[in-house]
Chains A and B, each alone.
Chain A
Amino acid sequence: MADTLQLLKCGVRFEPPTLVLSYKDWKSGKLRRRSMPLRNFNKNTGIDRIIEDLNSNPRHSRFIRLLSSAQLQRLLTIVKDKLSGLSLEASIARNNAMDTINPEENLNRVDPETLQRKKLIMDTSFEQKRKKPGDPDFQYNVEVDFETAVVETSGWDSEESDMDF
């Protein structure tokens, strides 16, 4: 059965920790709000476990699916930051930094949490552009020759006198 739900807004409540979604049900034409209590969530809880619980909850999973992994991870991290005593402002600043891709930032050196978040952001974009088997324009072997089209340098080679380059 086709899903008739469309996510409009998502957010969290802190007391008690709750995930809140606003959505439109196109079947009934109604705007609705769903609150999902995040039980047994404290500052030591792993976010992966909370996500697993939500996904395996038969009453919630249909709504959880409306969120991207990146969004869900972000919302739960904000709740966890709050439980750990961080201010909302500080948490949002921290989460914004984790959700921003900086082309100059060396991701080999960031902590595992930051790397995971940045990968989720990239994955969201990847999934949007992805061509899968079954898609009308999917082809297994796609060969494109760009060699003849080269018109300018990337500018990525010229800035410093890098011995290795």
Chain B
Amino acid sequence: MAENTQPDYDKPGDEGEERIKVICLGDSAVGKSKLVERFLMDGYKPQQLSTFALTLFTHTTEVDGKKVTVDFWDTAGQERFNSMHPSYYHQAQACILVFDCTRKITYKNLPEWLKDLRTYRPEIPCLCAANKIDEDMSMTQKTFAFAKKHSMPFYFVSAADGTNVVKLFRDSIRAALAYKHNSTDFMDEIMKELENFELDPKYNSKLNQDGTQRNGKDSPDEEDVDREAKDDKNNTTDTGQS
């Protein structure tokens, strides 16, 4: 019954368009809702799913000429329980992990959020955002090791003046689509922008994760998957061997 209120993100929407789900994570009062509202702009009325204590922002856009319906999920205070209901993570294809760069504790709690996320979604792309840079611009001159350590793209953002908000959300949509289409290309591209990045080995095995989605067979040579092999997998129908 409760599950019925959630769209199925593996199926196309009413008009045959692609549907994706992007979730926001992070401490109370880091500005998650304000960031989504800034991306979608004023006057947008989100849908409250009180059963789950969450807020759903639906956004329709075009990516490479194709219509995409994106649901941004926001916690609506559920983070006060220090962990989210599993349905929050269900079928999510990307995550935006936010901290408040004026409050150190929110940065220190990132590992907890990441752990929670990886329990349910081991491989989805995760983007890290330092919000409220307008409060203290000197923070943008500083380095934060967490994102790089976990091979996440990192953004300095401000929901108040809009800095990098649109970029963050557009990147999250592309990352979600790339994940859904079983390609790591887009994340690779973002990673290349990071200085001295070291690609987390986990990203290379993305192809075979989450058996419910595609051919589902755990390949024994998963760790040998290279770019060519990925392309093969995407372009052929030969899923027989395991």
A contacts, CB < 8 Å to B = 101, 103-109, 112, 115, 118-119, 122, 125-126, 129-133, 138-144, 146-147, 149-157, 162, 164-165
Contact = CB atoms under 8 A, between A and B. Distances in A.
Contacts of A138: 162
B41 interface: yes
Interface residues on B, range: 35 or more
Contacts of B115: 164
A126 B145 contact: no
B160 A126 contact: yes
Contacts of A162: 108, 111
Contact of A146 (B134, B156, B159, B161): B156
B205 to A, nearest CB: 21
Contact of B80 (A108, A131, A144, A152): A108
B146 to A, nearest CB: 6
Interface in B72-119: 79-80, 82, 102-105, 107-109, 111-112, 114-115
B104 A104 contact: yes
A119 B167 CA distance: 26
A156 B104 contact: yes
Contact of B103 (A103, A146, A150, A165): A103
Q: Counting chain B CB atoms within 10 Å of each CB, which of A103, A109, A162 scores highest?
A: A103
Contacts of A150: 141-143
A6 B112 CA distance: 47
A138 B115 CA distance: 38
Contacts of A133: 41-42
Nearest to B159: A126
B67 interface: no
Which 6 residue pairs spanning A and B have beta carbons closest together?
Answer: A164-B111, A154-B142, A129-B160, A141-B166, A157-B145, A107-B28
B49 interface: no
A108 B149 contact: no
A132 B80 CA distance: 30
A141 B165 CA distance: 7
B129 to A, nearest CB: 12
